[in-house]
């Protein structure tokens, strides 16, 4: 199978390297921007790829979601399989591209868009077809895990930890997507789409790590707690889907605390299979490229989609999930959370709440911030 490539950055270069030594797959043309062009295997014209009858599949590894979408649509319309590692693009357009691929009888896979090297979407797609997926959760962003680990284990500052994560090639071009939890949210949206055939685009809750300070770490670490940024999705009892991203504090012997550096962890809970945990590198060129290659091998062997035929956009319902939260806030905002335990430090309060709905905790933090004040909150793992 001849495979063309769109994008020649961190992931694209690794895919190209792996294409040269894969079994039964050969590299085709690589689409690059004019300033990076060099003959003979590169092109600056996508039509060279679309019009090459020998090219059966296109791999896209670029950042710009709308550009990526155009490449995806054109490739599928031309009857070529399409593999993407772009979370942003797939989280925006998955149902439409799934329909188009099915109409054209070609494959649309995006394993590397969730979990870097881990075949979590592959596993969820299989589980959906023979089990009942109750929930999916985990550490789905390598940059923030690298930063949290460096801040908590090595005492690094937030800024230094981010700088190193960028140098190591883990962070997005604009790292706001990482630290704000947006990248993790896109990944859990995709996990929900694969697990339930619903891509939740509304009613989502997202909190990143931007509000975490060294003082917070110094306060909760002596209590044996470790912070991880956790994405969670699942089915409520009424059949609706929930999906959110938020910091969670775990007791230090929890499996999530063993996820160090840029590693990711994905956990699925199924009715028959029970609990399944995958752990591996969540970012970086070679690990991500290996999941792109996994998709290509599966296409070569006949797999065409992760998503069910009926996959549609939908609304998340985060009112059902309830957690106790650790919250640091100004004394004047304390009434916004149901405090069960309170520690005062001047004007700063640190509270443990009684169980409260995820959506309510996120709304309370939003209200505090829109009044120009600060808050950090993290769910307490039960
Ligand atoms: N910026 C992403 C991360 C890259 O840090 O996880 C892999 O999706």
Q: By C-alpha distance, which of 161, 97, 135, 60 is closest to 305?
A: 97
> Is any ligand 1 atom within 6 A of the Cβ of residue 84?
no
Q: Which CATH architecture has domain 120-281?
A: 2-Layer Sandwich (3.30)
Q: What local confidence, expressed as pLDDT, does residue 119 receive? A: 97
CATH of 322-380, one of 3.30.70, 3.40.1130, 1.20.1050, 2.60.40: 3.30.70
366 flagged as catalytic: no
> Is any ligand 1 atom within 6 A of the Cβ of residue 149?
no
> Is any ligand 1 atom within 6 A of the Cβ of residue 183?
yes
Cα 344 to ligand 1 centroid, rounded to whole Å: 37
What residues pair up with 55 in beta bridges, in sequence order? 2
Q: Strands 198-202, 312-315: parallel, antiparallel or unpaired by DSSP?
A: parallel
- Say how far residue 25 (Cα) sits from the centre of its chain: 28
User: By the 8 A CB rule, do 162 and 175 touch?
Assistant: yes
Q: Ligand 1, atom 4: nearest CA belongs to which residue?
A: 283
Residue 107 exposed, middle or buried by CB count within 10 Å (0-12, 13-18, 19+): buried
Task: Work out the number of other CB atoms within 10 angstroms of the CB of residue 12.
Answer: 23
Distance in angstroms (rounded) separating the CA atoms of residues 217 and 226: 8
Q: Strands 55-60, 81-84: parallel, antiparallel or unpaired by DSSP?
A: parallel
Cα 109 to ligand 1 centroid, rounded to whole Å: 18
pTM of the model: 0.96
Q: Which of 80, 87, 187, 235 is labelled catalytic?
A: 187
Residues 6+ apart with CB under 8 A from 148: 209, 212, 227, 228, 229
pLDDT in tens, the chain (382 residues): 999 999 999 999 999 999 999 999 999 999 999 999 998 899 999 999 999 999 999 999 999 999 999 999 999 999 999 999 999 999 999 999 999 999 999 999 999 999 999 999 999 999 999 999 999 999 999 999 999 999 999 999 999 999 999 998 888 888 999 999 999 999 999 999 999 999 999 999 999 999 999 999 999 999 999 999 999 999 999 999 999 999 999 999 999 999 999 999 999 999 999 999 999 998 889 999 999 999 999 999 999 999 999 999 999 999 988 999 999 999 999 999 999 999 998 999 999 999 999 999 999 999 999 999 999 999 999 8
- Please report where in the chains the tokens 């209200």 appear, as a residue: 367
Q: What local confidence, expressed as pLDDT, does residue 221 receive? A: 96
Task: Work out the number of other CB atoms within 10 angstroms of the CB of residue 142.
Answer: 29
Q: What local confidence, expressed as pLDDT, does residue 127 receive? A: 98
CATH of 2-113, one of 3.30.450.20, 3.40.50.740, 3.40.50.300, 3.40.50.720: 3.40.50.720
> Is any ligand 1 atom within 6 A of the Cβ of residue 290?
no
> Is any ligand 1 atom within 6 A of the Cβ of residue 282?
yes
Q: Ligand 1, atom 7: nearest CA belongs to which residue?
A: 283
Task: Work out the number of other CB atoms within 10 angstroms of the CB of residue 22.
Answer: 16
Domain ranges of the chain: 2-113, 120-281, 322-380
Q: Which helix (H) or strand (E) holds 14?
A: helix 10-19
Please give the sequence-ordered ranges of beta strands (E in DSSP) within 144-302, or none if there are none. 198-202, 205-206, 225-235, 241-251, 263-270, 274-281
Cα 101 to ligand 1 centroid, rounded to whole Å: 26
């Amino acid at each position: 199978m001849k495979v063309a490539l769109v994008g020649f950055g961190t992931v694209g270069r690794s895919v190209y390297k792996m294409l040269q030594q894969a079994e039964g797959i050969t590299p085709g043309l690589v689409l690059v921007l004019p300033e990076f062009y060099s003959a003979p295997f590169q092109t600056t014209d996508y039509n060279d790829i679309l019009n090459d009858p020998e090219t059966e599949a296109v791999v896209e590894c670029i950042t710009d979601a709308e550009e990526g979408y155009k490449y995806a649509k054109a490739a599928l319309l031309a009857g070529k399989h399409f593999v993407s590692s772009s979370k942003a693009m797939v989280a925006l357009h998955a149902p439409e591209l799934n329909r188009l691929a099915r109409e054209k009888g070609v494959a649309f896979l995006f394993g590397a868009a969730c979990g870097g090297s881990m075949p979590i979407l592959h596993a969820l797609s299989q589980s959906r077809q023979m089990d009942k997926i109750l929930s999916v959760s985990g550490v789905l962003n390598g940059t923030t895990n690298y930063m949290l680990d460096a801040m908590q284990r090595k005492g690094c500052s937030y800024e230094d930890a981010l700088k190193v994560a960028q140098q190591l090639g883990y962070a997005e071009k604009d790292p706001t997507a990482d630290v704000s939890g947006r990248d993790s949210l896109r990944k859990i949206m995709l996990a929900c789409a694969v697990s339930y055939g619903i891509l939740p685009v509304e009613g989502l809750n997202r909190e990143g790590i931007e509000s975490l300070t060294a003082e917070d770490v110094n306060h909760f670490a002596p209590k044996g707690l470790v912070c991880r940024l956790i994405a969670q999705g699942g089915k409520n009892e009424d059949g609706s889907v929930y999906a959110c991203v938020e910091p969670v504090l775990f007791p230090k012997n929890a499996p999530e605390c063993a996820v160090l550096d840029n590693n990711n962890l994905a956990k699925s809970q199924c009715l028959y299979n029970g609990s399944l945990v995958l752990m591996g590198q969540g970012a970086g060129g070679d690990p991500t490229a290996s999941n792109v290659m996994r998709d290509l091998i599966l296409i070569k062997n006949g797999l065409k989609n992760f998503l069910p035929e009926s996959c549609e956009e939908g609304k998340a319902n985060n009112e059902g999930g309830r957690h106790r939260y650790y919250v640091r806030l100004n004394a004047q905002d304390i009434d916004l959370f149901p405090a069960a335990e309170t520690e005062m430090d001047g004007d700063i309060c640190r509270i443990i709440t009684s169980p409260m709905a995820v959506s309510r905790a996120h709304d309370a933090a939003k209200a505090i911030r829109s009044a120009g004040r600060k808050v950090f909150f993290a769910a307490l793992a039960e």
